[in-house]
Structure 1
Amino acid sequence: MSRPVILVVGAGPGVSGSVARRFARDGHDVGLLGIGEEQLRTLAGEVEDLGATTAWRVADLTDEAATTRAVHELAGELGRVDVLHFNPSAFREQDPLELSVPDLLADLTLGVGAMLTALQAARPSMSAGARVTATGSMAADQPWHRAASLGVQKAGLRNLVHSIDAALEPDGIRAVSVTVRGTLSDEGAFTPDRVAEAIHAAARQPESGWRSEIPYEG
């Protein structure tokens, strides 16, 4: 039986890299999709050092065709997708009086719309027992007005994950967003590694009591 596979969308340093390494330590092979070639190459090496097979692709996640093609290639190369993790968001320091509609929609395309693209492309490679996870944020409930689009992205992503979970449940696939209620830091309860541990635990929660949103309070 082949090893399980996690596909990390929006891969790079920070939480996404910690998620890739955490699942690699749990016996998963790892697919990486992101925009930074050097970051992906470095992360792939770290994952391989943990004994995982890895494959990576560079793609602009706001480009539906490029993202779809990359996900298909990664799923084909690794053979399956058991966990699809979605991490990207756009940080734009503009308040509601500065933020334009085109810029808001562009940010939503990355922070929410790309989830649809990745999911729809990965779905043929997912079977019963597969999981969809997402990095959420307290910005969904407590937005900072100086980064107005981020709160909208995170609220939209959480809402979308609830719908994904309901849509996939009949097929035995579940989805969960982990709402990080704190600021990422190099030390303490909100390091990327600690958040990744919470995401890993959320993906492994018992299906009988499944929750499609889990807060991480640190």
Structure 2
Amino acid sequence: MTRNVIIAGAGPGVSGSLARIYAEEGSRLGLLGVEQSVLAALTDRVAEAGGSAESVVVDLTDDAATRAAVTQMGEHYGSLDVVHFNPSVFREKDPLALTPDELLADVRLGVGALLTLVQAARPFLGPGARISVTGSMAADKPWFGAASLGVQKAGVRNLVHSLDAVLKNQGIRAVSVTVRGTLTSDGPFTPDRVAAALRAAIDQDEASWATELPYDG
């Protein structure tokens, strides 16, 4: 099925693999990220896989700029079928070294930016549209050495539950996939395998919809 897909926090890892999966189906992609060179490389990958992509360099913590970018893409495509949220911050500081301002800055990207993304996309989302999030086992088993990451992943998963509750009566559903492993270049936790799990979660049966699904490899 051809879809109009926005990927926020697009890069070479899981989000890039998800973009390629949709590209192979002929979907049209809108890519949001902070590095032009990364977006350019991913746009080429999408084209090679048979899809098409528009990209915008944007800091997702900039509310006004992100809203403008999403609105631009929504107006360009006319509607949006899938909105995927990928970013988080890995800051290697334990709770005794992490400052409140650093924690809030990390949560601003890893959780708060999802609000901006969904609110801006909402006018273009109709029945059958889907919101997805790359989750992590850090939500349940945080590593003290990167304390803010667990807070981000727990927070964004919680927010997904609330978004789904608000939107489900309009036929729009939200899901996070909790990746219970560390990304590797081979084995069950490659970006391609995790992206396939995300793709399956997005297309799960609405009659038995789950707002959080684990990926155990």
The alignment's TM-score, normalised by the length of structure 1, stands at: 0.98
- Please give the alpha-carbon distance, in whole angstroms, between the structure 2 residues aligned to 1:79 and 1:34: 21
- Please give the alpha-carbon distance, in whole angstroms, between the structure 1 residues aligned to 2:156 and 2:164: 12
- Please give the alpha-carbon distance, in whole angstroms, between the structure 2 residues aligned to 1:107 and 1:38: 23
Contact 1:165/1:173 (<8 A) preserved = yes
Residue deviations 1:33-89, cap 9 Å, x none? 000100001101110122212111000011101111111111222222100000000
CA RMSD for the aligned pairs? 1.0
Contact 2:25/2:51 (<8 A) preserved = no
Q: Which residue of 2 aligns with 1:127?
A: 126
The code of the aligned residue for 1:148 comes to A
- Please give the alpha-carbon distance, in whole angstroms, between the structure 1 residues aligned to 2:202 and 2:45: 22
Identity %: 57
Q: CA deviation at 1:23?
A: 1.4
- Please give the alpha-carbon distance, in whole angstroms, between the structure 2 residues aligned to 1:46 and 1:146: 34
- Please give the alpha-carbon distance, in whole angstroms, between the structure 2 residues aligned to 1:74 and 1:192: 25
Q: Which residue of 2 aligns with 1:91?
A: 90
Q: Which residue of 2 aligns with 1:79?
A: 78
The 5 A counterparts of 1:58-207 are 58-207=57-206
Contact 1:68/1:118 (<8 A) preserved = yes
The code of the aligned residue for 2:48 comes to D
- Please give the alpha-carbon distance, in whole angstroms, between the structure 1 residues aligned to 2:45 and 2:75: 22
The code of the aligned residue for 1:33 comes to L
Contact 1:5/1:80 (<8 A) preserved = yes
Identify unmatched segments of 5+ residues in structure 1: none
Residue deviations 1:129-155, cap 9 Å, x none? 000000000000000000000000000
Contact 2:10/2:16 (<8 A) preserved = yes
The code of the aligned residue for 2:124 comes to S
Secondary structure at 2:177 match in 1:
strand
- Please give the alpha-carbon distance, in whole angstroms, between the structure 2 residues aligned to 1:105 and 1:18: 29
Residue deviations 1:66-114, cap 9 Å, x none? 1111111112222221000000000100000000000000000000000
The code of the aligned residue for 1:113 comes to G
Structure 1 ranges of 4+ moved more than 3 A: none
- Please give the alpha-carbon distance, in whole angstroms, between the structure 2 residues aligned to 1:100 and 1:77: 41
- Please give the alpha-carbon distance, in whole angstroms, between the structure 2 residues aligned to 1:3 and 1:14: 22
Contact 1:4/1:80 (<8 A) preserved = no
- Please give the alpha-carbon distance, in whole angstroms, between the structure 2 residues aligned to 1:64 and 1:100: 23
- Please give the alpha-carbon distance, in whole angstroms, between the structure 2 residues aligned to 1:88 and 1:77: 24
The 5 A counterparts of 1:12-23 are 12-23=11-22
Q: Which residue of 2 aligns with 1:8?
A: 7
- Please give the alpha-carbon distance, in whole angstroms, between the structure 1 residues aligned to 2:25 and 2:208: 22
- Please give the alpha-carbon distance, in whole angstroms, between the structure 1 residues aligned to 2:78 and 2:9: 20
Contact 1:139/1:155 (<8 A) preserved = yes
Q: CA deviation at 1:25?
A: 1.5
The code of the aligned residue for 1:66 comes to A
Q: Out of 12-21 and 144-153, give the one that drifted further.
A: 12-21
The alignment's TM-score, normalised by the length of structure 2, stands at: 0.98
The 5 A counterparts of 1:31-70 are 31-70=30-69
- Please give the alpha-carbon distance, in whole angstroms, between the structure 2 residues aligned to 1:102 and 1:96: 12
